[in-house]
A and B are shown apart, each in its own frame.
Chain A
Amino acid sequence: METVSVEEGFRGRLSSLYYNILKPILANKRATVGLFILLGFILMATIGPILVPLDLTMRWSERFKPPSLEHPLGTDYAGRDIFQQIVHGSRDVLTIAFLAASFATAIAVTIGTLSGYLGGIVDYVLMGVTDIFLTIPQLPVMLMIAATIKVSDPVSFSAIIAIWMWAGLARAIRAEIISLRQKDFIEAAKVLDLGTGHIVFKELMPNILPYIVINFVTMMRVAITASVGIMFLGVAPLSATHWGVMLNMAMFAYGAIYVPNGIHYALAPLLFIVLLEYGAVNLAHGLDEVFNPRLRRYE
């Protein structure tokens, strides 16, 4: 019998990872575009603040300067460099997005799987609760909660956003689990008496993993919108450089947009928000096309 060394085994798994997952993803244009955009932003959020120092001293004589070599995106109402703020702000935005999506995914997967796998009254109750969360719109509720409870750190802020985000994914996961539950290999696992834990984690989960990843990306995007929106209204000003706060300042304070040169103070965060969301949306759609063959249409 041939044995395989540990290294060969490892290399084998890596190459299968490459061929099965990375290659088709990279072959899909939308996914690649989205992936690179997101990677760019992640880079900006992680390394950016280290490379680009944040200088928040107010120099009123420098206010609303147009983009130049010294200030790539111009200056804001207090003469501070906008580019620095964007870079530092990206860290806030991405942290919140990531945390919120993580929380929401965790909740959604738990509830969806329990509901789909156990069925019966558990399903009925859980789905009833989910439907209520689905009907009540996300933004007003989060705004109200954020306005009432003192939100001081990104984690609790992300939690608030996550609370109203999980409902859609939970329903979808439940549907997937229900359709998988009836498939043959689950029956086989049951007959072999492999245990509920094993069935759930080793058999069901890998099949819905792509789906979860796609929705994670989508939820990051929703979280970005939500956090920017909340900050935009000045309801929970967590940090001075969050893009939502920048927008708030641009629109409502110091008349930035009404001043001829002040436009870039509003446009810069706008542009980056749109770019980031565009990247996320494309990645999600692209991954969907890769992993969901039904979407591929041939002429």
Chain B
Amino acid sequence: MWSYTFRRILATIPTLLAVVTVCYLLLHGTPGGPFDEERKVSAAVLANLQAKYHLDLPLWQQYLYYLNSLLHGDLGASFRYADWSVNELVAKALPVSAAIGGSAILISLFVGVFLGTMAALRQNSAVDYFVMLLGNAGHVFPSFVIGPVLILVFAVWLKVAPAGGWDDFSPRFMVLPMLLLIFINVATIGRVMRGSLIEVMHSNFIRTARAKGLPMRTIILRHALRPALLPVVSVMGPLAITSITSAIVTESVFSLPGIGKLIVNGAANRDYTLVLGLVVLVTVIAVTLNLLVDLAYALLDPKIRY
């Protein structure tokens, strides 16, 4: 297990390096530099500035400098927000995204597994139809459609929650965004859990357990749940990527001051360094989540032993 973990961690390095390199080259290919202002600075000052930020060096040396600062956790300075480094902007925005995204994914994991289990055990019941409907709806209605509709229904028509905004982790402002994220995640998790538990319940070892006369409760909790959870775990990797996408949309829809909003604003303002820094950061997060999912899978599945 340890050697597998180690190898799996090593395998993430090329991915990260590739993303950083491609993004860096893309960025470098854009015309204009950080000191191309309306008011031209004199050649000597420009040379000094460029020397200070290593802009006078050949590309590969600049790249190595950039990698070095990344390794030290420095994402660079923002082009547009004067006096702000990307790190400072991230420090303000990340807790918001993490609070909403993290709690939403935990809640949807529990709700999704619970609903999926109920649906699988009572096929063609109301719960079952609800889970299937939810799964289809999650397929058909994208987050940027559901989000505004949620606002329309709960904020505009019913007036039970604010339409968006943020007030220092006040739960009032977190309800609707979390509802949206939970809806999207539960649609997937519930459907996968339902399918896999139905399959497990038809397998031989469950029939044996029934033949032994074990109570249904024991069969499900002790025998069926663990193998049925495996597909759910394996879907968590892609779901983490989707969650990041829907987090960007969610933060835009509800105007939350999170990482997603920062990226969209940065892109709209053409704040290259900010977007690059955030892309690198989020890629690291995504790759780490994928890694954790893989490790959890190896831990849960007795058939996989490294």
Instruction: Please indicate whether A and B come from the same complex rather than being unrelated chains.
Output: no
Q: Could you list which residues of chain A lie within 8 angstroms of chain B, going by C-beta atoms? A: none
Q: Could you list which residues of chain B lie within 8 angstroms of chain A, going by C-beta atoms? A: none
